[in-house]
Amino acid sequence: MSMRLDGKVALITGAGSGIGRESARLFAAEGAAVVVVDIEDAGGRETVAGIEGAGGRAVYVHADVASAADAAQMIASAEREFGQLHVLFNNAGIMHGRDDDAVSTDEAIWDVTMNVNAKGVFLGCKYGIPALRRAGGGSIINTASFVAILGAATPQIAYTASKGAVLALTRELAVVHARENIRVNALCPGPLRTELLMKFLDTDAKKQRRLVHVPMGRFGEAKEIARAALFLASDESSFVTGTEFLVDGGITAAYVTPE
């Protein structure tokens, strides 16, 4: 059976850990050359070493996705290293420990969260779309969240708003670029057992408060999100664009009523 990303070049931000790392491993195993982007060099290099150790092709690029210069440079690195770019996975995101409700969240926390989670996706697309055009088209995947669709019981106002921005941005990009063979989808994970969320839900009581809402009764794994990202990255999803691709253990089905 042919590999699902054979001959493709994929750039993944936030690939030093969590969803990004699992996706980088999986994409490489499926034949893609992977540009591993992160701001944490140790994690990013570890991801690359793991991929190369398994016989895959990968390169590490240090970039702060909230910086235009870094975003431009990561895309340029992909084309320089591997010739072109077919898959752009804007996955880097932060969830600040002091992100709370509107009254108690500092403006600085709001700004840093928006810069990484929303502006980071915009900048990835700003510099990535011309590269996808040069390659004759491709797939953009933006990591949003189930909280962009329903309100989180544990307040995280900046994070939730930033992920709502990612959804709206994704829809518009999908429509604007639909005739250019560029697909744009938002991946919306439910609550996951990643370091990011486990640090935020730092007590058993907080974890249980989140889990009680998930029909499957467990946290998702980063690997499960990576498989959904692989589908969106591959030609199997050739007629899929502008979606909110929910991988959430049923949480939104339990709470969101149809319009």
Q: In 3D, which of 146, 85, 136, 144 has the Cα closest to residue 120?
A: 144
Q: Which amino acid is at 66?
A: A
Q: In 3D, which of 244, 198, 253 has the Cα closest to residue 220?
A: 198
Rounded to 5 degrees, φ, ψ at 166 are -60, -40
- The domain segmentation of the chain, as residue ranges, is 9-255
Please say whether the beta carbons of 44 and 62 come within 8 A: yes
Start-to-end CA span in the chain (Å)? 42
Helix ranges (DSSP H) in the chain: 18-29, 41-53, 68-82, 107-114, 120-134, 157-176, 195-200, 204-211, 222-233, 251-255
pTM: 0.96
- The predicted pLDDT at position 185 comes to 98
Superfamily of the domain at 9-255: NAD(P)-binding Rossmann-like Domain (3.40.50.720)
- The predicted pLDDT at position 137 comes to 98
- Residue numbers in the chain where pLDDT is lower than 50: none
Q: What is the DSSP string of 161-204?
A: HHHHHHHHHHHHHHHHTGGGTEEEEEEEE-SB-SHHHHHHS-SH
Distance between CA atoms of residues 123 and 46, nearest Å? 25
Structure tokens at 12: 């993944």
- pLDDT digits over 163-221, tens only? 999 999 999 999 999 999 999 999 999 999 888 788 888 888 888 888 888 999 999 99
Q: Which residues are annotated as catalytic?
A: 159
- The predicted pLDDT at position 259 comes to 62
